[in-house]
Copies of this chain bind each other. A is one copy, B any other.
Amino acid sequence: MNEYPSPDIADVELVDVLRALADPVRLQIVGMLADGKPYPKGDCLMGLDLSKSTASHHFRTLREAGLTRTIVHGRTHDIQLRRDELDEKFPGLLPSVLGSAPPT
């Protein structure tokens, strides 16, 4: 069912995480996922003006970089920041990125 694979945390490279974060859209998405709870993808796009395909591309980028996981839930998908794993592998990274005040 859940055939949207995210990489094993052991294979996640810092430079790939940084590259995934180095985009305004994805940074904002990650900001909305900060608490580590799953959210419907649609909700993450509030305020963002993107086509469906572009949004899908960003979700895929985040997932393949190891930042998020996708949970299929009927016809909607929930997306979740892999906080615990990432905090263990890159201590302090997410807090610093998320703590640096997004301008709304």
Which A residues fall within an 8 A CB radius of B? 14-15, 18-19, 21-24, 27, 89-93, 95-97, 99-101
Contact = CB atoms under 8 A, between A and B. Distances in A.
Given A92-B99, A96-B93, A100-B93, A18 B14 contact: no
Contacts of A96: 90-93, 95-96
A89 to B, nearest CB: 8
19 contacts: A14-B27, A14-B100, A14-B101, A15-B23, A15-B24, A18-B18, A18-B21, A18-B97, A19-B22, A21-B22, A89-B100, A90-B100, A91-B96, A91-B99, A92-B95, A92-B96, A92-B99, A93-B96, A95-B96
